[in-house]
């Protein structure tokens, strides 16, 4: 009986160590997540400030924003998230669906005609505001691209990893509780037997 009790104590200690390691990893992920969120927040503030600067320096009657262009504008970049076999999401930045379908159409037309047509580059959204766009508007675009291509994918992956660590912590706590219950049950049986023998 004492060997079995020693085994359960060892499992109990290992469960505590596993939980501690998982919680340490979780706190590291929370730290990274909060740093990225604050960086994303600062980027968004900078984007809106640069758009406001561009509006301030614009010619009379021109405002840079959704009012200046029509509703046909679509996103050039898109974040695609796919869940793999191990339930860990993977992300990739790619062309938006409209750009991809335009490329497929141009490829099929070039194959049908026998002539190769040059592939169209994605249109720069700043062209909607004219050829000579103000520098703050270009800076706002650069910051928005950084947010979409760098910060948001990292946030998504860290958030998914945090969820996975939370699940692992819960599983470890259940295992620890089962080990404690078994140890208590065995100690209870020993106490009962010793009382009976006395």
In sequence order, the 6+-apart residues with CB closer than 8 A to the CB of 117 are 106, 109, 110
For residue 37, the domain's CATH number is 1.10.287
Range of the domain at 65: 2-197
Beta strands in the chain (DSSP E): 77-83, 89-95
Question: Which tens digits make up the pLDDT trace of 24-83?
Answer: 999 999 999 999 999 999 999 999 999 999 888 878 777 777 676 666 667 777 777 777
- Is this structure's pTM higher than 0.95? no
Q: What is the domain count for the chain?
A: 1
Q: What integer pLDDT is reported at residue 190 of this predicted model?
A: 53
């Amino acid at each position: 009986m004492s060997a079995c009790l020693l085994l359960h104590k060892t499992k109990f200690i290992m469960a505590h160590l596993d939980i501690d390691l998982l919680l340490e990893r979780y706190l590291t992920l929370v730290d990274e997540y909060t740093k990225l969120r604050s960086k994303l927040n600062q980027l968004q503030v900078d984007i809106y400030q640069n758009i406001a600067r561009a509006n301030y320096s614009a010619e009379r009657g021109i405002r840079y924003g959704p009012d200046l262009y029509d509703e046909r504008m679509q996103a050039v970049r898109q974040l695609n998230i796919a869940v793999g076999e191990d339930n860990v999401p993977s992300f990739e930045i790619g062309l938006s669906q409209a750009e991809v379908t335009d490329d497929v159409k141009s490829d099929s037309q070039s194959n049908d005609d026998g002539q190769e047509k040059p592939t169209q580059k994605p249109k720069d959204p700043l062209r909607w505001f004219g050829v000579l766009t103000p520098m703050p508007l270009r800076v706002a675009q650069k910051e928005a691209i950084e947010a979409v291509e760098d910060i948001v994918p990292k946030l998504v992956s860290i958030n998914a990893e945090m969820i996975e660590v939370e699940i692992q912590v819960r599983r470890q706590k259940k295992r620890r509780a089962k080990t404690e219950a078994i140890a208590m049950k065995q100690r209870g049986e020993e106490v009962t037997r010793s009382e009976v023998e006395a």
